[in-house]
Structure 1
Amino acid sequence: MQRSGPGPLDRVFTLLVPLLAAALLNGCTSARYYGQLAEGQWALLRARQPVAQVVADPATPSALRARLLHAQQARDFASQQLHLPDNRSYRVYANLGRPFVLWNVFATPELSLQPVTHCFPIAGCVAYRGYYRQGAARGAAALMREQGLDVYVGGVEAYSTLGWFDDPILSSMVGWSDERLATLIFHELAHQRVYVQDDTAFNESFATFVEQQGARQWRLARGLAADGEQQGQQREQFIRLVLASRERLQAIYSGPLDDVHKRLAKQAEFQRLRREYRQLRDSQWSGDARYDAWVYAPLNNAKLLPFGLYDQWVPAFTALFQKVNGDWARFYLEVEHLARLPAAARTAALQQLMPAAQALANA
């Protein structure tokens, strides 16, 4: 998501295995697109340096050294306490020289929340396309708009290659808070732990749960709680607000109205979302305006899309974690079992967990 500070999701969008996808060209996608993926990934790989080497370099600015040392503490915590992969990912550093590592383009039909998907030989089908140059992303978005699609371009500050490469801490992360940097590491390592082809909602909801629960335990281990918990609660409230708006839009698009009236209802729903956000911000957040820029910028279906992809099944994974009494090893076994199920059975199993998750929330 393109932003200069923390965005409404406080997380990153993930492009998976771009170089391997580039090596196995799909006839439906241009070689030029794959070529820029391969070139961008290769440049990133060449820029990596071991964190220990950067920390030991006398020329390294003290602020960067402190941030990298903190990141290594979080990295150790991820493997030792959260049972996430213990490898060289996030033990290397790369200076990008730009604010985002790449830009993702999301698209939906004008009167639908169904994402336009793109399929890769290794990563499967995902609901976005990534570009290492902002101009290329904007050009692709313009072409999609000419086709009548709703389009959103979001800057990506990090991504996972699912363990195929040693993913680096990027210079785009250095300005983040300590907690945000830690949760990025938890989220992306979770993708290395469990990943299902062609099921973005499952993958991202799982990684988001690991990120959130990992952050709770990380705060507890460091004797910190209040600030992070408050921000997390605000984030969850905001996401629920957006998801409720998505549900109402889905009802509009699947309802009996003609296209003209669906367009009017769509714009009315966006105005309702802004009103409800304003009420939440002013009545419960003491006017905290962290999400104002996102809310008051132009809204469309594609801009709402990542919320459904990244949060849909988080309550189900929360219930599953409670079911195994917070045992990470058992939790991953249960998640791996879900991952092996056929898509329809996996969705049904997650839906069965949702009532338990709601009961926990009410309690």
Structure 2
Amino acid sequence: MRSFHVSFRPAAVLLASASALLLSGCGTLGYYWQSARGHLALLQAARPVPEWIASPDTSSALRARLQLAAQARAFAVSALALPDNASYHRYAQLGRRAAVWNVVAAGPYSLQLHTWCFPVTGCIGYRGYFDEADARAEAARLAATGLEVSVYGVPAYSTLGYSNWLGGDPLLSTFIAWPEGEFVRLLFHELAHQVAYAPGDTQFNESYATAVERLGVRRWLDERSTPEARAQFDAGEERRAQFRALTRSTRERLREIYESKQPLALTQQAPAAMKTEAMQEFRARYEALRTRWLAAGTPAALVAGMDLWVHEANNASFAAQAAYDDWVPAFTALFEREGRDWPRFHAAVKVLARAPQAERDAALMALAARP
């Protein structure tokens, strides 16, 4: 969705390497093979950023953006205490609109994501494919079992640092041309995945990375950017905040319907009717937002991505969005608790990542409740 990527930016974690294949004890060999082949092809397409900058065949726009990327990469280390390693020092021109395509699924009366289990990463609520047709086929298989499904293109993904020995995760053509603020925040998000990772806890991992991107991009804009870039980002952030509020309230309404213990909700017909009403209200409220945005001069191309998300919204897409959103206030509170000190903040997150999930969730709930 370019700079209008709702409140989440999917970051598939595909350990597509020989080590992942050797460690795998679940899933099909075909899936691991497409992951390994797709990731290795991506790495082979990548060349060092200085080579791209020096090449006479590189356009002036791409050269300027790669120079910006180098500055943001250094800023991530010096200002945000993010890893100083091989990742994002190379660039790959992919010739397609997404790096991978993610499949997510949820039950017709549930906001709990269906999960797949992988080596190292544990059980996660999405499955990534380098070929969109393969993703659509998996979605169709899941839909045939009665699940609601969503397939979306992913501009970037993280291998959690496991690819650094192969040259690291590269910058990609799928997001290189995004507006400055959106580009920089995605870079920070992906690097955060290399700092702390809790196997099997998608919500923890994505909310942490989202908190890092939001805090980090604001500092970047304040210290390193232009008034024009800040204004562009702030306009987009206002729209995102409005959309997040709308989707959050809709998720809460759906959750109430699905978890209701009232006698009326014990039949299938009643919850189905209430769900339909909630979705109709969601789309009507979105239409009102959309009208205001367009009247204020928001380009229709930016709104188009939102339109598609709303049109296809279901339990799966709402549940996936929640993974990138729900714990962000808790991580923001943790950042404040640690004195806005980035190394201390990351260290505290690592401690939480190693804790049992029940203990981790309790700590995050307490942080979210802080005034």
TM over 0.5: yes
Confirm or deny: 8 A CA contact 1:50 1:93 kept in the other structure: yes
One-letter amino acid of the counterpart of residue 23, structure 1: L
Confirm or deny: 8 A CA contact 1:150 1:301 kept in the other structure: yes
One-letter amino acid of the counterpart of residue 308, structure 2: W
CA distance, structure 2, for counterparts of residue 265 and residue 198 of structure 1:
32
Q: CA-atom RMSD, angstroms?
A: 1.9
Q: Which residue of 1 aligns with 2:25?
A: 26
Q: Secondary structure at the match of 1:125?
A: strand
Q: Secondary structure at the match of 1:193?
A: coil
Q: Which residue of 2 aligns with 1:120?
A: 118
Q: Which residue of 2 aligns with 1:335?
A: 349
CA distance, structure 1, for counterparts of residue 60 and residue 119 of structure 2:
42
Q: Secondary structure at the match of 2:153?
A: strand
Q: Which residue of 1 aligns with 2:282?
A: 273
CA distance, structure 1, for counterparts of residue 9 and residue 109 of structure 2:
27
Displacement of 1:286 after TM fit? 4.9
Cα shift readout 1:267-287 (whole Å, capped 9, x = no counterpart): 111111122223444568855
Counterpart of 1:315 (choices 299, 316, 329) is 329
Counterpart of 1:218 (choices 217, 220, 223) is 220
CA distance, structure 1, for counterparts of residue 81 and residue 334 of structure 2:
16
One-letter amino acid of the counterpart of residue 340, structure 2: G
- The within-5 A match list for 1:229-244 is 229-244=234-249
Displacement of 1:342 after TM fit? 1.2
CA distance, structure 1, for counterparts of residue 352 and residue 11 of structure 2:
23
Q: Secondary structure at the match of 2:239?
A: helix
Q: Secondary structure at the match of 2:151?
A: strand
Q: Which residue of 2 aligns with 1:325?
A: 339
Aligned residues: 354
1:263 aligns with 2:262: no
The 1:330/1:197 distance shift into structure 2, 3 A limit, reads same
CA distance, structure 1, for counterparts of residue 103 and residue 13 of structure 2:
11
CA distance, structure 2, for counterparts of residue 226 and residue 177 of structure 1:
11
Displacement of 1:12 after TM fit? 3.4
For structure 2, the 5+ residue unaligned runs are none
CA distance, structure 1, for counterparts of residue 127 and residue 309 of structure 2:
23
CA distance, structure 1, for counterparts of residue 257 and residue 223 of structure 2:
46
One-letter amino acid of the counterpart of residue 344, structure 1: A
Displacement of 1:205 after TM fit? 0.6
1:351 aligns with 2:365: yes
One-letter amino acid of the counterpart of residue 337, structure 2: K
Q: Which residue of 1 aligns with 2:256?
A: 251
Q: Tell which has more relative contact order, 1 or 2 (C-alpha 8 A, sep 6+).
A: 2
CA distance, structure 2, for counterparts of residue 354 and residue 14 of structure 1:
26
Q: Secondary structure at the match of 2:174?
A: helix
- The within-5 A match list for 1:80-229 is 80-165=78-163, 166-222=168-224, 223-224=226-227, 225-229=230-234
The 1:43/1:295 distance shift into structure 2, 3 A limit, reads closer
The 1:76/1:5 distance shift into structure 2, 3 A limit, reads closer
One-letter amino acid of the counterpart of residue 130, structure 1: G
The 1:107/1:331 distance shift into structure 2, 3 A limit, reads same
Q: Which moved more, 1:255-264 or 1:82-91?
A: 255-264
The 1:213/1:286 distance shift into structure 2, 3 A limit, reads farther
CA distance, structure 1, for counterparts of residue 309 and residue 196 of structure 2:
33
Cα shift readout 1:294-315 (whole Å, capped 9, x = no counterpart): 3541321011122110111100
Displacement of 1:119 after TM fit? 0.7
TM-score (norm 1): 0.92
CA distance, structure 2, for counterparts of residue 45 and residue 157 of structure 1:
15
Confirm or deny: 8 A CA contact 1:55 1:65 kept in the other structure: yes
CA distance, structure 1, for counterparts of residue 330 and residue 8 of structure 2:
21
Q: Which moved more, 1:184-193 or 1:275-284?
A: 275-284
CA distance, structure 1, for counterparts of residue 234 and residue 342 of structure 2:
21
CA distance, structure 1, for counterparts of residue 327 and residue 107 of structure 2:
24
CA distance, structure 1, for counterparts of residue 8 and residue 256 of structure 2:
28
One-letter amino acid of the counterpart of residue 22, structure 1: L
Cα shift readout 1:20-45 (whole Å, capped 9, x = no counterpart): 43333334x22111111111111112
For structure 1, the 5+ residue unaligned runs are none
User: Percent of aligned positions with the same letter in both sequences?
Assistant: 43
Q: Which moved more, 1:233-242 or 1:118-127?
A: 233-242
Counterpart of 1:47 (choices 19, 30, 45) is 45
Cα shift readout 1:84-134 (whole Å, capped 9, x = no counterpart): 001121111111121111100000111111111001011111101111101
Cα shift readout 1:43-63 (whole Å, capped 9, x = no counterpart): 112111111111111111211
The 1:12/1:116 distance shift into structure 2, 3 A limit, reads closer
CA distance, structure 2, for counterparts of residue 152 and residue 109 of structure 1:
12
